[in-house]
Amino acid sequence: MDMMNVTLPEMQTELSLARRRIAELEAQLAAAASSGPAASSSFEAMRLREVEGQLVRGAMQRARGNVSRAARALGLSRSALYRRLERHGLTTNGDAIR
């Protein structure tokens, strides 16, 4: 999907899905917090990394591998996006995201 051709309803749908996922994660974090501080801190780090990875991968796919467009869509600088790509083991190769 070309980022320049994304419609407002598509953006609203994606935002709604992200909000729903955040609400689910908050509920899971609250449940994990009741089991003790060590468990909740490791659980929180794992889940936030997973969500970040999914958001980065999705933005890169929608931008067809264009780092500048994906960074803009995520509200990040290009260098910050490159760090996140490295953190999640994602590489760009033209239009493909691995």
pLDDT digits (tens, 9 = 90+) for 17-48: 888 888 888 887 777 666 655 544 555 566 78
Say whether pLDDT at 1 is over 50. Answer: no
Q: How far apart, in whole angstroms, are the C-alpha atoms of residue 9 and residue 6?
A: 8
* pTM for this predicted structure: 0.51
Is residue 47 a contact partner of residue 28, using CB atoms and an 8 Å limit? yes
pLDDT exceeds 90 at position 67: yes
Contacts of 31 (CB under 8 A, 6+ apart): none
What's the pLDDT score for residue 46?
63
For residue 41, which of 25, 29, 27, 53 has the smallest C-alpha distance? Answer: 29
